[in-house]
Structure 1
């Protein structure tokens, strides 16, 4: 049976499960770096892909612990979820599409996701095509990046597996 999540799940068990699934999916792709570093396009980053200026500044002064990095991700994901779902007009979407949307928003920003073919197709209810549209986000600095291409393929596979009843 296809699992869906309501547009405004609040503090439900489903909402918590979506956040946990998103964190579990995102972490291996972002990696964990305990001090500040420049990402592939030169953005100061720390922990699990965090670019918040205060977090980055603290990462320049001291090293985070892995637990602090995980907690930071868990605190920030609802912001990306809210940003993504603000653009979704459907009352509910499949859990796997939701998790893939959060992962994409965390990686490229909610503004880019909201303007994307991915969201347009989600809103049209064409979830399989939306999953395929994730592959469009495989560039950084104007060029295809193998790591991003691999991540987008994994997001698409996760997204589609949920539609076929083999995922979340």
Structure 2
């Protein structure tokens, strides 16, 4: 495995770990804070309340979705972002979705090369269903810290 592949695998593993830490795992589908049926680590696509998954299925789904989120991040700017920023933003995109990310001030700041300001934008994303959620505040603080740590 060459160095670029190892670094890429490390970023993916770090992003999966970050997502798992904040999403938590449920093997039985439940309604998230805004009522969306959710399973595993925040997986929502085609999920119905009462669905059941195994740990192995959750591992596969989470890695697959984090890969997609990382690809969105990597494809959204002309240059390569620092690894810590990629990890933090992959977690963010996993949580809010590529559409919200695509229309965000955060992305506009990234594209303008304002990396620190982009990291600071994470703190604005603490609402779900119009309600400020303490868990999202904590998650965004952690993502921001990881994001900024790669800029020092």
Tell me if TM exceeds 0.5. Answer: yes
**Greater relative contact order (Cα < 8 A, sep 6+):** 1
Q: TM-score, normalised by structure 1?
A: 0.82
Alignment of 1:15-164 (within 5 A): 15-53=8-46, 56-57=47-48, 60-61=50-51, 63-88=52-77, 90-164=78-152
> Is the contact between residue 34 and residue 46 of structure 1 (CA under 8 Å) also seen in structure 2?
yes
> Is the contact between residue 74 and residue 81 of structure 2 (CA under 8 Å) also seen in structure 1?
no
Secondary structure at the counterpart of residue 42 of structure 2: coil
Q: CA deviation at 1:83?
A: 2.4
In structure 1, distance between residues paired with 2:75 and 2:50: 33
5+ residue gaps, structure 2, are none
> Is the contact between residue 121 and residue 130 of structure 1 (CA under 8 Å) also seen in structure 2?
yes
CA RMSD for the aligned pairs?
1.6
Q: CA deviation at 1:82?
A: 2.1
In structure 2, distance between residues paired with 1:118 and 1:15: 23
In structure 2, distance between residues paired with 1:21 and 1:131: 17
5+ residue gaps, structure 1, are 1-10
